[in-house]
Amino acid sequence: MTEPTREAQLLSTFAVLADSLVAGFDVVDLLQTLVDRCHQLLGATAAGILLADDNGELELVVSTSEASRLVETMQIAAHAGPCIESFTTGRPVSIADIREAPAEWRMFRDSALDLGFRSVHAIPMRLRDSTIGTLNLLRDQTGSLAEDDLVAARAFADVATIAVLQERTIREADTVRSQLQNALNSRVVIEQAKGVVAHRRGITPEEAFDVIRTHARSNQLSISSVATQLVERRLVI
């Protein structure tokens, strides 16, 4: 049985990643699959992904080896290195010979060389003007990344970006739906509370709402919580 060609393996990888982008998918598992395939298909000795948190600080999410984890963590700690540069500028950053890295990247350079890496290639994960992280390839040989490998790496980075943004969109949509449902549920309780106050005081529902709102503001409470207390007969106003 013949071995699948590299092109067939790349196509298979994109198919696997596409199949993973379904409702409820595990984004970390998908990203781990992606860096594993980078290691297998793009000549990378190790690979990893850095993502920015809500404060814009980079964090290591997945990697193929403890060595690459140490190198990328070192960059984060020092706020300097090719991966940081790629994230900041939104452009690919390649160091064909880590020994020639700039002096300000000394912590990255020394840790990478100590761990046996000789070249690094960082590809930004971006959509339009927004960069959310970097895909990083480390190699134990000097030299530039082959053009077809670079094209594949950029495509992998694009897939990773889509995966992360889709997961965030789903999560945010769930939050919005939850907030909307809570608002709808609160509205029902408020209507009931208006009826309670209107009946007790012999006033209109509109006037009853003003009474509830005034009480809530005076006591630094939410209208929903005051309404709930009224409906449950734990409060009389």
Q: What is the pLDDT of residues 176-224, one digit of tens each?
A: 566 556 655 777 888 899 999 999 999 998 899 889 989 988 998 888 8
| pLDDT at site 183 | 56
User: 4-28 b/e with 16+ CB inside 10 Å = b?
Assistant: eeeeeebeebeeebeebeeeeeebe
Q: Output the average pLDDT for the chain.
A: 83
**What residues are paired with 94 via a beta bridge?**
121
Structural domains in the chain, sorted by start? 6-171 (3.30.450.40), 181-231 (1.10.10.10)
| pLDDT at site 1 | 45
Q: Percent of the chain beyond pLDDT 90?
A: 27
Residue appearing with tokens 């480390």: 138
Q: What is the pLDDT of residues 114-167, one digit of tens each?
A: 888 999 999 999 887 788 889 999 999 999 888 888 888 888 888 888 877 776
Q: What is the pLDDT of residues 46-63, one digit of tens each?
A: 888 888 877 788 888 888
Its pTM stands at 0.65
